[in-house]
Amino acid sequence: MTRAQLGRDLEVNAGDAVGILYNEPASLRFHRLEHVMVMVPNAAMSPLVDDLEAASTRLIPRGTEAVRL
């Protein structure tokens, strides 16, 4: 899957995770439909993440503790 948001394209492979900001335009291009999405309100994430907008542009690799949850 390729995620485009805030002028950045990010390739997301099976098992990886990426954030998507709800208040900014974004596009998702799926190569195959085998992805799971979880929506978490900004209010729940903001106290846990210093810069939520910057964090949403980074890939969270498969195998990290956060993805295993």
Neighbours of 26 (CB within 10 A): 14
The tally of domains found in the chain comes to 1
pTM of the model: 0.72
pLDDT in tens, 18-67: 889 888 999 999 888 777 788 888 889 899 999 998 888 889 999 998 78
- pLDDT for the residue 33: 79
pLDDT in the model for residue 44: 92
Handedness of CA 36, 6, 58, 49 (dihedral sign): negative
Q: What is the pLDDT of residue 34?
A: 77
Instruction: Name the band, by pLDDT with cuts 50, 70 and 90, for residue 10.
Output: very high
Residue 22 belongs to domain spanning:
2-68
